[in-house]
């Protein structure tokens, strides 16, 4: 479903990603591990179109992402790719429900349709009773689950997660990890997860180890 070929990325003289090739199948959960500075997050951002490689290509569902520019790229990203980060990045002035709805509204869904889907996701995450609460009224674990729900509102084919449980205690982290696999089983999404959490990394279908900008294992 996703194919990356010959991905290179440098910042000045610093080579961060050095010729990475990678394929991700539909419904596959892949973890990427490695020490800080190994190039994991940079690779994730390139795969998710948040950054652009100096060389190489990324294809998702047969669409060559490097050929998309501006609004076309933003629209493709909105409809086909989900993101979860270590910091949830929820909009503080909006409720949990409104935060989840946002990508659907940006993508052109009606308010009714967006709300219906957001409520369905809140139910899945067991957070319906928190729908009208703003982020500062939610626990860290609840905020991260809301951010995952937001990533899923447009039914993306693939979700990229960068240290998704890095800010959570062990109990909330374990809950979040289980949710990723439940979502994969229920909705068929693929997940690519950069993590330092060994438990999460070992749960994945494949664990890739990065060192000095290349996948070594």
For the chain, the domains span 2-91+139-215
pLDDT, tens only, 117-127 = 999 999 888 88
Tell whether the model's pLDDT for residue 165 goes beyond 80: no
Read off the tokens for 123. Answer: 């139910």
Nearest to 33 by CA among 201, 212, 168, 205: 201
Supply the pTM of this predicted model: 0.87
Using alpha carbons, select from 207, 204, 141 the residue that is nearest to residue 174: 141
Which of the listed CATH numbers 2.30.29.30, 1.10.357.10, 3.40.50.1820, 3.40.50.300 matches domain 2-91+139-215? Answer: 3.40.50.300
pLDDT tens digits for 6-48? 999 999 888 988 888 999 998 899 999 888 878 888 999 899 8
Task: Give me the torsion for CA of 196, 52, 91, 97, rounded to 10°.
Answer: -80
Closest by alpha carbon to 164, among 97, 86, 102, 101? 86
């Amino acid at each position: 479903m996703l194919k990356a070929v010959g991905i290179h990325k440098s910042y000045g003289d610093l080579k961060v990603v050095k010729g990475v090739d990678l394929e991700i199948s539909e419904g596959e959960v892949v973890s990427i591990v490695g020490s800080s500075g190994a190039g994991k997050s940079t690779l994730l951002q390139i795969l998710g179109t948040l950054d652009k490689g100096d060389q190489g290509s990324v294809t998702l569902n047969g669409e060559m992402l490097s050929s998309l520019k501006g609004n076309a790229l933003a629209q493709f990203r909105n409809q086909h790719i989900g993101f979860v980060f270590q910091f949830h990045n929820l909009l503080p002035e909006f409720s949990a429900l409104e935060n989840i709805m946002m990508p659907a509204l940006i993508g052109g869904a009606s308010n009714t349709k967006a709300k219906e889907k957001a409520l369905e996701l809140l139910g899945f995450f067991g957070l319906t009773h928190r729908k009208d609460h703003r982020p500062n009224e939610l626990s860290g674990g609840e905020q991260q689950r809301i951010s995952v729900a937001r990533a899923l509102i447009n039914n993306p084919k693939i979700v990229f997660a960068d240290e998704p449980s890095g800010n959570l205690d062990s109990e909330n982290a374990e809950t979040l990890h289980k949710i990723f696999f439940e979502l994969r089983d229920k909705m068929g999404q693929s997940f690519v997860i950069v993590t330092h959490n060994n438990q999460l990394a070992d749960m994945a279908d494949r664990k890739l180890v990065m060192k000095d900008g290349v996948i070594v294992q």
